[in-house]
Structures are given as structure tokens and as C-alpha cells.
Structure 1
């Protein structure tokens, strides 16, 4: 990493992944800011949760209005009348067209304005759930595009790109943030903080990773 600029902007939703990335950024950079997007998501609690976490950690937090995105795409994250469905071979109904593209682009504009070259996002190709804008190829391509478009040397960091949910829990544990992430983040599609509803796809993925991590940790302790 560069030594001349040690400031990072974290794309922050208040969920498990982005909160783990926020702790990661706080460890690796001298100064960190968090930016959250209001894109018409079905749970306003997501925004409140993000703000509360940032406030508790002493991280400067900014909310940007991206509500237009919710008007342009039909998906189950912005439309309560659409069912949350994940069918094999199809894009999940929770896929928000262009979300990460726009979020990272606006985060870059924001980052340049606050003199930050580093942008951190919690996208992951291992558990990407069919979302094409979570792929490493996309992130690398966008990084080049943003640098060319803004004549600025951004570096997009993806700490979770090649790890699964169990390894994400392990990272949170190594950062001393396991209980914080488990109790205070919002991953659930039904808007329940912490362990969530336990039945929606997001909760099932989160719980499967948690169970696998705890099993591995318990096995190590028994040795």
C-alpha cells in the first residue's frame, strides 16, 4: 500500500461483510470514513444500523441519496411486493442492477473529495450468490475505469473477495470484532439485526458460515 496517503473510504451497509471490512480498514489505515447509500432499500433500519455502528466506532459517516436506483430496477430489495427467490442458474430476485457499479463510482467521487485514494468494499466472489457485480474481474475493470475517468490513483480493496462466510467470521474474530459483528450487524432480508430471521437466504448463508467457523474453532480448542 502507498505510504503517502493512508486514508480509506469504506462502502458501508451495516451488514456482516461491510462491518468486517470496516474493522479491517481501521486496522490498515490511519484514517477511515464510511459512506452509506440510501437506494430505496426495503428496510430503513439498514441505514440506522450503519450509522449506529459508525458512531460507536468513532468513524465519520456520510449518507448519500441514491434513491433513483430504486426507481430504475425491479428487485426484491427495493420492492416489498416482490418475493425473495434464489433459483439455481438464475439471477436472484435480490440482485439490484448496477448497484455496486454506481456505489463504487460515487464512493470514488466522494473519496477524491476527502483526499482518499483507498476504497474498501465487502464484495466476495466465493459467496457472490450469482451477483455479477461482485466478481473480481468487474472490480479490477472498474478500478481502471475510475482511475482513467478521474485522473486519480484509486485502489479498490476487497478483503473478502476470495474467502467464504466461515473465513469472514474468522477474519472478524482475528480483528477482535466477532461479537460486535454477530450482535450489531444487519444481514437479514427481513430486517432483523444480529442472527436475523434464520430463514431468508442471507440468514441461511450467514448461519452456515457461522456454524462452520464455530465448529472449526471448537475443534482447535479440543486439540
Structure 2
């Protein structure tokens, strides 16, 4: 196990919870940080707090409400429909979100003596979000190190995984059922399997079905 300390950017969703367990296997000490940016469903904050409590990790919640004022989006505004567009980014995209979240996570990490920052961004199943791309993460990593003269490492364990492979990782970590039952990924604020209708639920279910089929065909079920 790496004896260094890590901060996990944590929403209580499938990806960040899988990253939390990934980090717990690798680092001697873990703390998590959740951002309150005026999201529609405060249940996301409660879900993150509950998982952090159950996993006995220190939980920081930072106020990022200014983000919803600057960048109106379907995740913070009830009057904006959640929809995917063929000619542009989904209405759930929040300009600057990962840039700001990772920057504030880095400020926190330096204060508590953590070098590693773990985030669940993914370029494979990323819904077209530009701030989930590997090139952005690498660029920001250099910028953060220069800005604070500190050797940050942005860890992205899910970067090249499909959603099915993310479920596989959770299973290999021994937490597939926990992730399935405890996390909140649904844009309509329903824990576990969600509403079944929003884009996030479709992606989550399709990945789980693909993984379970693969596991079954491999004789592992």
C-alpha cells in the first residue's frame, strides 16, 4: 500500500464511490470532498455524507453555490429540462465544474498534506463533457503543480473504462452490491437503480447489464 494521503472528489455516485474503494486499497489515509453547488437534489449531499460515515473517512463539504449562478444548467435549475442534444453538449453539462472542483480539491489537499487527488472522470463514457477528457486532466495537473508549487498527482482510475468495466472494478473490489444499492447517480434524485428514465440511469443500467451478461457468460455467476 502507498503510504501517502489522498483526497477523493466525492459525490456519492457510482463512479466516485468506486474510486473511493479503489483509493482505500492504495493509500494509507483517505479524505473525501463533496461540493455543494446548488444541485437540484440535496439528497446527493446526504448520500455522500452517509457513505463517508459508513466507510469511516473524513468528509469535507465545500460551498460552490456561485457555480450555479454563473452557469445555468439542468442539474441546478428546475426550469431547464434534462436532455441530450445531437448538435451540442447535454443540458446537464456545467461549464467549469471539474476545473473548479479539482482546483479547490487541490487547495484542500495541500492544506492537509495530501499529494494524490482521485477523481472519477472518464473519457470513454463521458457524455461529451470536455472537462472529463484525459488531455484536460493532464493539463490541469501541470497547472496546479505550477500554481501551488506542490507535487499533486491527479489519479483517474476510470479514465479509459466503459461503464461495464467500472461495474467490473467495483465487483473486483468486493463492493458491487454496495455501489448498486447505496449510490446516487440518477438526475432525478433516486438512490440505487434510479428513475430508469434519465440519461444517467440509462448509462448506469446498460453498463451493469453488459457486465452481468459478460460475467454470466464467463461462468462466474
**Is the pair's TM-score, using the shorter chain for normalization, greater than 0.5?**
yes
* Aligned residue among 24, 27, 30 for 2:25: 27
Corresponding position of 1:194: 192
* Aligned residue among 49, 52, 63 for 1:51: 49
Deviation, 1:222, is 6.8
Q: Secondary structure at the match of 1:169?
A: helix
Could you list the structure 1 runs, at least 4 aligned residues long, displaced by more than 4 angstroms after superposition: none
What CA distance in whole angstroms lies between the structure 2 residues aligned with 1:204 and 1:61?
29
Deviation, 1:40, is 0.5
What CA distance in whole angstroms lies between the structure 2 residues aligned with 1:126 and 1:88?
18
Corresponding position of 1:15: 13
Q: Secondary structure at the match of 2:219?
A: helix
Structure 2: unaligned runs, 5 residues or longer: none
The alignment's C-alpha RMSD in Å is: 1.2
Deviation, 1:84, is 0.6
Structure 1: unaligned runs, 5 residues or longer: none
What CA distance in whole angstroms lies between the structure 1 residues aligned with 2:72 and 2:61?
23
Deviation, 1:74, is 1.2
Q: Secondary structure at the match of 1:221?
A: coil
Q: Secondary structure at the match of 2:81?
A: coil
Deviation, 1:89, is 3.4
Q: Secondary structure at the match of 1:111?
A: helix
1:78 corresponds to 2:82? no
Corresponding position of 2:100: 102
Q: Secondary structure at the match of 1:20?
A: helix
What TM-score comes out, normalization by structure 1 length? 0.97
What CA distance in whole angstroms lies between the structure 1 residues aligned with 2:217 and 2:55?
32
What CA distance in whole angstroms lies between the structure 2 residues aligned with 1:25 and 1:88?
36
Q: Secondary structure at the match of 1:83?
A: coil
* Aligned residue among 199, 217, 220 for 1:219: 217
Corresponding position of 1:125: 123
Corresponding position of 2:139: 141
Deviation, 1:111, is 0.1
Deviation string, structure 1 residues 105-151 (Cα, Å, up to 9, x no partner): 00000000000000000000000101000000000000000000000
Change over 3 Å in CA distance of 1:192–1:153 after alignment to 2: same
Q: Secondary structure at the match of 2:218?
A: helix
Corresponding position of 1:172: 170
